[in-house]
């Protein structure tokens, strides 16, 4: 409108400046052509504004359909990691682009395309260019979902690229490589995208180099230069990689001359910043690709009714017990906590939920870490009769004294919530881990599952290949220490990332003190 007024303001004074214009037919015809130009310019302006409004209208209609679906089940909608990712992406980037388009002066005749909004067909069925609410594990969690779970939502090559950048900013080069490779794969398959292979290869080659795979980094850099021979950083990296490889070759040759009878061992892929010795097995188990037991071992696993060693409370209504694994022995109790009890525990915990912490093995201080992403709260038995009743149920079924146990810990894991492989007990290099409690080491763990999880959220034991999947109303129990008091290192376990929905659990860590006659010590270290 301002542009139009300016045009009018410039041209009209010219036509009004000479009152004698009307006396000349020739000059009058010039005014006709001037007015024609004004009308043409006005139509162009109207067309540009209509195009802009049409783009805004299409974007608004798509968002209207999306929000209408989302508001029917908000928790279920954001419980899908792809929906959560795209929501954060829209709020952090696409809405800003829409604002720029709305405020854009269309008088230059140019219009900008608004990014497409990926509307999910059926949402809820299945951590910098992007803030993502500082969810440090979203890149890794989405990769679990992307390759391990069937789902109806989709990720574009651009989405994969953005997630790779999120992992990159967190120095998580392991998942940077995975996401960039997936983006490149989709581009190779012909997907139309706003990103190009050069940008993907730029990140990918550096992520691979950071993990120590120099050969692959060199190969990817050469591939990048085939697409963009003038790429400044790639040309610099190529020279550097070739220099390093030539230097290593000279060193290996020199060593070979000195020791001709010894073969040079090829360089292995280096260790990533977020290195976990069992990462591949851990992620495999989280995807449900567990290690299969032999038939001979499976024959030793049973289901039974358990009366708590003739406990009067369970003689008439014994607990349902199932063997999940043999070594370490992991037992699941079915229908061991009611829906009503679960709701009471959750209601008590919700106002107190705080970001979960771990005890620093060196300082003993509680601190948040990137490998434990959840919120937790602690409940004492004296606060509510339901909590007290749950504590006594654990004592009756395990035969262990809960008076020296820690309070009931309630934890809630959202999308991407997880706890990477860890031990519940203190190792020999952590002698002061539970010194303040004065109750000795954690002898056993009892874990209630207070919700079902649509995808992800398993409790896995990478050392032995066991996977225990959440089932509402059940609980699992295992000993962290042998009867000798020595730690059972096969109990190293993890809470897999929640891929869809959210996960509620509560656990009880039972300690050594008070168990002297309930679980007597043995002379053998491994009994």
Whole-number pLDDT of residue 324: 96
In the chain, pLDDT over 70 holds for what percent of residues?
79
pLDDT at 258 (0 to 100): 60
Helix (H/G/I), strand (E/B), else coil: 335? coil
Give the residue with greater pLDDT, 366 vs 396.
396
Q: Which long-range contacts (CB under 8 A, 24 or more apart) does 148-151 make?
A: 148/286, 148/287, 148/288, 148/289, 149/287, 149/455, 149/456, 149/499, 149/500, 150/126, 151/80, 151/82, 151/125, 151/126, 151/455, 151/500
Q: Where does the pLDDT of residue 67 fall: very low under 50, low under 70, confident under 90, or very high at 90 and above? A: confident
Q: Which residue has the higher pLDDT, 471 or 70?
A: 471
Q: Does 136-140+151-249 match 290-511 in CATH topology? A: no
**Across 440-464, average pLDDT:** 95
pLDDT at 14: 52
Provide the pLDDT for residue 525. Answer: 63
74 upstream amide cis, omega within 30 of 0: no
User: Which residues lie closer than 8 Å to 315 by C-beta, 6 or more apart?
Assistant: 307
pLDDT of residue 2: 55
pLDDT bucket at 370, cuts 50 / 70 / 90 = confident
Higher-pLDDT residue of 106 and 88 is 88
Instruction: Report residue 98's pLDDT band, with 50, 70 and 90 as the boundaries.
Output: confident
Q: Are the CB atoms for 338 and 473 separated by under 8 Å? A: yes
The token pair at 170 is 């967190």
Per the model's pLDDT, the better-predicted residue between 247 and 88 turns out to be: 247
Interatomic CA distance for residues 410 and 17, integer angstroms: 83
Q: Indicate whether 382 pLDDT > 70.
A: yes
pLDDT in tens, 153-208: 577 888 889 888 888 888 888 889 989 999 999 999 999 988 999 999 999 999 99
Confidence of residue 492 (pLDDT cuts 50, 70, 90): very high
**Identity of the highest mean pLDDT range in 98-102, 143-147, 174-178, 319-323:** 319-323
Query: Which pLDDT does position 476 carry in this prediction?
Result: 98
Q: What is the mean pLDDT of residues 294-304?
A: 93
Quick one: average pLDDT of 434-447? 93
Residues in a beta bridge with 179: none
Contacts of 208 (CB under 8 A, 6+ apart): 173, 177, 216, 217, 220
Q: What is the mean pLDDT of residues 475-502?
A: 93
Decide if pLDDT at 310 tops 60.
Answer: yes
Supply the pLDDT for residue 466: 94
CA distances from 486 to 329, 358, 361, 509, 527 (A): 16, 22, 18, 17, 9
Sheet holding 466-468, edge to edge: 372-373, 418-422, 493-495, 459-461, 466-468
Instruction: Inform me whether the pLDDT recorded for 272 exceeds 60.
Output: no
pLDDT the model gives residue 486: 93
Per-residue pLDDT band for 12 (boundaries 50, 70, 90) equals low
Q: Is the pTM of this model over 0.75?
A: no
Domain boundaries, the chain: 21-103, 136-140+151-249, 290-511
| DSSP per-residue letters across 412-448 | EE-TT-EEEEE-SS--TT-TTTTTTTTS-SEEEEEEE
* Rounded CA separation 287/467 (Å): 10
CATH number of 136-140+151-249: 1.25.40.10
In this structure, CATH architecture of domain 290-511: Sandwich (2.60)
Under the banding of pLDDT at 50, 70 and 90, the label for residue 216 is very high
250 confidence band (pLDDT: 50, 70, 90): confident
pLDDT at 485: 92
Q: CB burial class (10 A; 0-12, 13-18, 19+) of residue 478?
A: buried
**Whether pLDDT at 21 is above 60:** no
* Per-residue model confidence (pLDDT) at position 162: 85
Cα separation values, 346 from 6, 275, 451, Å: 65, 35, 11
DSSP H helices, 157-259, are 157-169, 173-188, 197-210, 214-227, 232-258
Instruction: Give residue 8's pLDDT.
Output: 53
> What pLDDT is stored for residue 59 in this prediction?
84
Encoding tokens for residue 377? 């709260």
Higher pLDDT, 459 or 164: 459
pLDDT, position 141: 53
pLDDT at 267 over 50: no
Cα–chain center distance at 164: 12
Mean pLDDT for the chain?
A: 81
Strands 475-479 and 442-449, by their bridges, are: antiparallel
Average pLDDT estimate for 85-103: 80
Question: What pLDDT was estimated at residue 501?
Answer: 80
- Whether the per-residue pLDDT at 217 is higher than 90: the answer is yes
């Amino acid at each position: 409108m301002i542009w139009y007024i300016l045009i009018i303001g410039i041209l009209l004074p010219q036509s009004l400046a000479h009152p004698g214009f009307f006396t000349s037919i020739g000059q009058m015809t010039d005014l006709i052509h001037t007015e024609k130009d004004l009308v043409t310019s006005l139509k162009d302006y109207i067309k540009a504004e209509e195009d802009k409004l049409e783009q805004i209208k299409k974007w608004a209609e798509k968002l209207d359909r999306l929000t209408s679906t989302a508001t029917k089940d908000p928790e279920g909608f954001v419980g899908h990691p792809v929906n959560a990712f795209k929501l954060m992406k829209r709020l952090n980037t696409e809405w800003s682009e829409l604002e720029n388009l709305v405020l854009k002066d269309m008088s230059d005749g140019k219009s900008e395309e608004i990014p497409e909004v990926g509307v999910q067909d059926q949402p809820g069925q299945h951590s910098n260019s992007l803030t993502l609410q500082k969810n440090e594990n979203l890149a890794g969690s989405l990769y679990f979902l992307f390759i391990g779970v069937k789902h109806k939502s989709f990720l574009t090559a651009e989405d994969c690229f953005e997630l790779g950048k999120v992992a990159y900013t967190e120095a998580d080069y392991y998942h940077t490589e995975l996401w960039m490779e997936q983006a490149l794969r989709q581009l190779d398959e012909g997907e139309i995208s706003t990103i190009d292979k050069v940008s993907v290869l730029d990140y990918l080659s550096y992520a691979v180099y950071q993990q120590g795979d120099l050969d692959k980094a060199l190969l990817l850099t050469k591939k990048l230069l085939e697409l963009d021979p003038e790429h400044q950083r790639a040309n610099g990296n190529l020279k550097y990689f070739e220099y390093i490889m030539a230097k290593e070759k000279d060193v290996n040759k020199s060593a070979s001359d000195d020791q001709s009878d010894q073969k040079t061992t090829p360089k292995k892929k280096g260790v990533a910043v977020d290195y976990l010795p069992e990462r591949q097995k851990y992620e495999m188990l989280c995807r449900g690709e567990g290690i299969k037991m032999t038939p001979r071992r499976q024959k030793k696993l049973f289901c039974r009714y358990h009366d708590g060693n003739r406990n009067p409370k369970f003689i008439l209504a014994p607990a349902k017990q199932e063997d999940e694994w043999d070594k370490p022995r992991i037992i699941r109790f079915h229908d061991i906590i009611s829906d009503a009890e679960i709701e009471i525990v959750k209601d008590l915990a919700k106002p107190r939920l705080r970001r979960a912490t771990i005890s620093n093995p060196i300082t003993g201080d509680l601190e948040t870490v990137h490998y434990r992403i959840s919120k937790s709260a602690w409940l004492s038995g004296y606060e509510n009769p339901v909590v007290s009743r749950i504590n006594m149920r654990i004592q009756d079924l395990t035969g262990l004294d809960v008076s020296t146990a820690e309070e009931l810990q309630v934890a809630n894991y959202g999308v991407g919530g997880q706890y990477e492989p860890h031990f519940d007990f203190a190792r020999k290099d952590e002698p002061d881990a539970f010194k303040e409690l004065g109750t000795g080491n954690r002898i056993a763990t009892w874990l209630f599952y207070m919700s079902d999880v649509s995808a992800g959220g398993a409790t896995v034991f990478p050392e032995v290949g066991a996977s225990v999947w959440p089932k509402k109303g059940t609980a699992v129990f295992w000993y962290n220490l042998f009867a000798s008091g020595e730690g059972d290192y096969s109990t190293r376990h993890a809470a897999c990332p929640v891929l869809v929905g959210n996960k509620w659990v509560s656990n009880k860590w039972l300690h050594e003190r008070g168990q002297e006659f309930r679980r007597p010590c043995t002379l053998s270290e491994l009994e």
